[in-house]
Amino acid sequence: MSVHPSSIVAPGAVVPDSCTVGPFCTIGPEVVLGENCNLISHVVVDGRTRIGARNTIYPFSSIGVPPQDLKYRGEPTETVIGDDNTIRENVTISRGTVGGGGITRLGSNCLLMTCAHIGHDSVVGDHCIMANAATLAGHVIIEDYVTLGAFCPVHQHCIVGKYAFIGGGTIVTQDVLPFSLTSSKRENRAFGINKVGLQRRGFSPERLQTLQKAFRLLLAAKLNTSQALEKLKVLESDDVALLVNFLERSERGVIK
């Protein structure tokens, strides 16, 4: 393997020969790296951390570090990261806590921009983008294909549904509807479907039309959520079924 002489790889760490570890990195004894990972420089990876293949981690990032939770007492909790992620400068990912299930997870094919933070026991899906300084408090769930804008904090126990796009500076304190374009001017509000993002993901005009109809019922028909749900269930669409399921399992309420 290529390890710069200024870096410290603890005995017990698993670092394949295909990995590159740049200057001034620290890798703890319970860390397992996948093939072809690149730690550019000044990266700290600690705790029971498993990182998949082909991840690139930029300077001053800290992965698997103890959670920012005063209840944490050094229990052997974990951090699990998938494949093909780009983790930019100053990103922090905290390991889990016993009270939250014990594992913090990041999926595959994600981009975490500078100063993004994934708090303890959070779960981030695949193909997600967290822009600069987007932050997840503990116990947050980010589903697949979500884009979280710059300087967006997400409150504990919130869920952000699949394909949602959240505008920069939006403070998220309730669940965010899948497929939605949600942003904050004076107050948080869902403005409809994330049309451009869905088109880029290959959604057909018919799928978009059905979703637009569903969102009109939910956001513009002057129905409460229970009334809108009854009308949504009539629409025969897998996408709408996903939306209905999200609404029915939401515990914090949704941004409408």
Active site residues: 120-121, 138
Length of the chain: 256
CA angle 231-145-81, nearest 5°? 135
Q: Write out the two tokens for 163.
A: 């394909």
Quick count: other Cβ atoms within 10 Å of Cβ 2? 11
How many Å apart are CA 74 and CA 76, to the nearest integer? 6
User: For 236, left (φ over 0), alpha (ψ -120 to 50), or beta?
Assistant: beta
CB 197 within 8 A of CB 178: no
Amino acid type, 44: V
Q: Write out the two tokens for 208.
A: 């978009």
Residue partners of 38: CB distance under 8 A and separation at least 6: 19, 20, 22, 55, 56, 57
Q: Write out the two tokens for 151.
A: 């300087």
